[in-house]
Amino acid sequence: MSVKKKGTVYLVGAGCGDYDLITLRGKSALEQCDTVIYDSLIDDRILNFASSAAEKISVGKRCGKHSETQENINSLLVSKATEGKTVVRLKGGDPFVFGRGGEEIIELKKNDIEFDIIPGISSSIAVPELAGIPVTHRKVSRSFHVITGHTADDFSEDSIKKYAELEGTLVFLMGLKNLRYITDSLIKYGKDKNMPACVISNGAGSYQSIVKSKLIEIADEAEKQNAPSPAVIVIGKTVEYDFAPTVSRPLSGITVTATGTKRFVTKLSKALENKGARVQRLDHLDVVEYSSNERLDKALKNISDYDFLVLTSINGAEIFLRKLREFKVDIRKLANIKIAVIGSGTAEVLEKRGIFPDLIPKQYTSESLGKMLSKAVAENERVLILRAEKGSKMLTEILDKNQALYDDIKIYDVAENSGFYEENKIVGDYVIFASSSGVRAFFDSEKAIPKNAKIVCIGDITAQAVRQHGINDFRISKTSNIEGIIETIINAEEENETIKKAQSE
C-alpha cells in the first residue's frame, strides 16, 4: 500500500503595515499554496495573492483578542501538511522576531515535515523608519535593541536595569498596554526622563499615527491622543529626527470604498493606493461565464461571416479569446473583420494577443460606441456583439435605428458572491460604483453610504442605477475606466481645497 506523501510548510514573514511590503518570494509562496494559516496582524489584502481555491484559516495571535494557542497552531500545521498540502504559515513581520517561528519548526521537525523559511520585513526597523525615525544614526546611536513589551512578566529587575543602561535605540514591540510600566521602570533605573520617545500606531500603513514626547510624558500623551494598538514604542535620541518620506501624493489621507469584481477592484485599488488613498475593497461580484452557449459556439465557428466584432468589456474580450483557443479558430480568420471595443482596457486585452482594434470611441460609453458603429457599418454588413447579460440597451437601440444587421450574444453574467454580506461597515470619503450590477448588489445587501461620502459612477448606466435608489448627488467619470475614476476624485479634492481656501480668506 502506497503511503501518501507529506506536504511542505513555508513559514512566511508578511512584513509589516501595507500588503505590498511582503517579499516577492513570500508572494510566490502564497500564489502556489493549498492552505494559508495566518495571524491577525497582517494586511488582509495579502490574502488576495493566494488562489481563491486556497483554504484560508485565521489563528488570531493578537493582544486582547481571541486567538488559537500556539500548541493548536503547531498541530494544525502538522495536520494540514500530513494531508499532503502545501501550507503557508503567514506571520506578521518576520517569523523569528517574536514570531514563535522556532517553536513551529521544532514541531515540524519532530513530525518529519519539510519546511522552508521566507523572511519578512520586521516592524522593529520598518515602522520607525517609515515614521521618519532611524533606529541607528552616525554619532547618535550605533546600536538598537528590540524588546518584547507584551506582558509585565517580560521585565525582570535585572532586565530593566540593563535596558536603562543601554545607549542605543530601544524598540518595544507589542507593549502599548504596558507603556506606563515600561517608561516608569526605565526612569527608575536611570534612563533620562527627558529622553525622546515615540508611539507609532498602525505603522507602515495608510492609517499610521504618531505620538512623540519625552520619556516621562509619553504614556500620558499616548492616552490623551487615544493611540491605538498595534503600536511600536521607540525610545532614544534618534526619535528627534524627522526623516519621514516627503513625496506628495494627491489622494493622501483620502479613504475610498471600491466595489465590483475582484479583478476590477484589485486594479482600481492599486491605482488609488499609488495616488496615496486608503482603499476598502468590496470585490463582491463574480463573472459567471455561460458554460453552454450554442449561439456563441455557432458564431465563433462561422466568424468569417461577420464584418464587425464588438466587445464591450475586458471580461468579454477575455472570454472571446479563450473560446477562440477552445474551438481552435485560427486568429487569421479575423483579418477581414473590423473590431470595435468600448475602451482602452478592452483594447489592451486584445493588443496583448497582437489584435489591434479598429474602432474605439473617444468617450468610453455604449452610446458613443453605438454612434461610431452606426456610421462605420455599411448596408448588408453583419455585426457580432459579445457582451454581458445586462449590457446597455442603448447600443442596440442605436443600431436598430440605423437598421444595422447584428447578432447580440450574451456570453456572461455578473453575480453577487456570498462573501459580500460578511464585509465590515462601509467607510470612506468616496464610494465607487463600476456597474449597475454592483449598485444593485450593494443596496440589496442593505449597506449604507457613509454620511458625507461622495459617490462616483463609472458611466451613465451605472448612474441611472444609483438614481433608482433615490440618490441624485453623484459624479460621473468623464471616461469609463479606472483613469477616469481617479481623475474625477482628484478633481473633486481640488475643488474642496479651493472652497476651503476661499472660506478661510
**Mind telling me the catalytic residues?**
39, 61, 174
Burial of 179 (C-beta count, 10 Å sphere; 0-12/13-18/19+): buried
Number of neighbours of residue 233 by Cβ within 10 angstroms: 27
The x, y and z cell numbers of residue 452, run together, are 458625507
CA 276 from centre of chain: 13
- Residue 161 half-sphere exposure, CB side, CA atoms within 13 Å? 3
Q: Any idea which residue has 515614521 for its cell?
A: 131
Whole-angstrom distance, CA of residue 465 vs CA of residue 482: 19
CA distances from 105 to 6, 76, 371 (A): 15, 13, 65
Are 251 and 276 in contact, with CB atoms under 8 Å apart?
yes
Burial of 359 (C-beta count, 10 Å sphere; 0-12/13-18/19+): middle
Whole-angstrom distance, CA of residue 460 vs CA of residue 476: 7
Nearest Cα residue to 170 out of 186, 151, 190, 157:
186
Beta bridge partners of 127: none
Q: Any idea which residue has 448606466 for its cell?
A: 461
Whole-angstrom distance, CA of residue 150 vs CA of residue 41: 14
**Positive/negative CA dihedral, 210, 213, 216, 217:** negative
- Backbone φ and ψ of 339, nearest 5°: -115, 130
Whole-angstrom distance, CA of residue 220 vs CA of residue 443: 44
Q: Which residues contact 261 (CB under 8 A, 6 or more apart)?
A: 283, 285, 286, 287, 315, 414
Q: What is the distance between the terminal CA atoms of the chain, rounded to a whole angstrom? A: 85
Whole-angstrom distance, CA of residue 46 vs CA of residue 28: 11
Whole-angstrom distance, CA of residue 274 vs CA of residue 272: 5
